[in-house]
Amino acid sequence: MSAPTVAAVPVDTPDAKSVSVLVKDIVQEYPADSGGVTRVIDRVTLTFDQPGINMLLGPSGCGKSTLLHMLGGVRPIGVRTPTSGSVLIDGVECHGAHDDSVMVFQRYANRPDLSVFDNVAFPFRLKLWKSREPEAQWRGRVADLLKAVGLADKAGLRPAQLSGGQNQRVALARALVLRPKILLMDEPFGALDAQTREEMQQLLINLYQSWPCLVVFVTHDVTEALLLGDRVIVLTTQPARVADDFLVSEPRPRSAAWQRSATAQGLEERVLAQLHASPGRGQVRVTI
């Protein structure tokens, strides 16, 4: 992989949700206890220039979340990020939080004092979004999304009255209600039990069909990556480097039969071989 030296020319039409993201030569270092520096991300270059589900697959603790947070502009405090390199969104260098992307976290940050409806409508309490749309319009959209994530009958409940999976649905709805060009997902289903995780993966596939955008999805689950991704980017650990980057053309939803097929098995072995070849620690998950 050679790094493109010129940023892709942005096609800036606000109606089309097309967006180009260029991750250019990113290096991230943290001060180590020993006094030196630890390099967690080593010269990662990636281009995303069309809608699709992009899986960032790597062992736990490999720095993939750090990379994702850079795309969203959520930076850690007290450390220069990135140490070198840059993130360009539609050709513009990204320094801090920006309104092209919304992030879904593993720890859904739903406000416990607000109803499900108000949690999804939360962004419209903020100056940034309140001024952009009349209330009747965003209220309608919140209702649409609640229906889409299957919580229409739970709009009046509080988060504590919902299960973990349902809470994550609220977080997904809150992200999509803003119709982001970029949806960043930081191991969103990692803390859920196996059955709920499968339901949520199916839900994401359905939602993506209705609201296509550029999804960057961080996971350490090989099966999940092959189940959801149009593209799978395999990262090694300590430091994170791009070990592999391939497309999966099988249309979604991908059947159990496909998952057992020689193609899928071959891809899985290919990914595991890449991960085993890298020296670092960290774990990946494979569900059979």
Q: Give the footprint of another protein on this chain (CB under 8 A).
A: 72-74, 97, 99, 101-103, 105, 107, 109, 111-113, 122-123, 125-129, 158-161, 174, 178
Q: How far is the CB of 63 from another protein (least distance, A)?
A: 18
Report the residue number, 79 or 109, with the smaller CB distance to another protein: 109
Which of 179/260 has CB closer to another protein? 179
Q: Which residue has the tokens 């649409």?
A: 144
Contact 19, 100 (CB under 8 A): yes
- Please work out, in degrees rounded to the nearest 5, the angle formed at the alpha carbon of residue 196 by the alpha carbons of 226 and 163: 145
CB of 248 to another protein, least distance (A): 28
Residue 60's closest CA among 222, 202, 215, 274? Answer: 222
Q: Measured between alpha carbons, how far is 235 from 65 in angstroms, rounded to an integer?
A: 11
Residue 122 Cβ vs another protein, minimum distance, rounded to whole Å:
7
Write down the least CB distance from residue 95 to another protein, Å.
Answer: 14
Please tell me the distance from the alpha carbon of residue 24 to that of residue 86, in angstroms, as a whole number: 5
Find out whether 6 and 167 touch, Cβ atoms under 8 Å: no
Q: Give the bridge partners for 221, in sequence order.
A: 285
CB 263 within 8 A of CB 223: no
Angstrom distances, CA of residue 225 to CA of 58, 189, 219, 249, 254: 10, 12, 7, 13, 12
Q: Toward another protein, which CB reaches closer, 69 or 231?
A: 69
Residue 31 burial by Cβ neighbours in a 10 Å radius (0-12, 13-18, 19+): exposed
CB closer to another protein out of 39 and 139 = 139
Nearer to another protein, 51 or 159 (CB): 159
Nearer to another protein, 8 or 114 (CB): 114
- Give the number of residues written for the chain: 288
Nearer to another protein, 30 or 129 (CB): 129
Q: Which residues pair with 88 in a beta bridge?
A: 22, 93
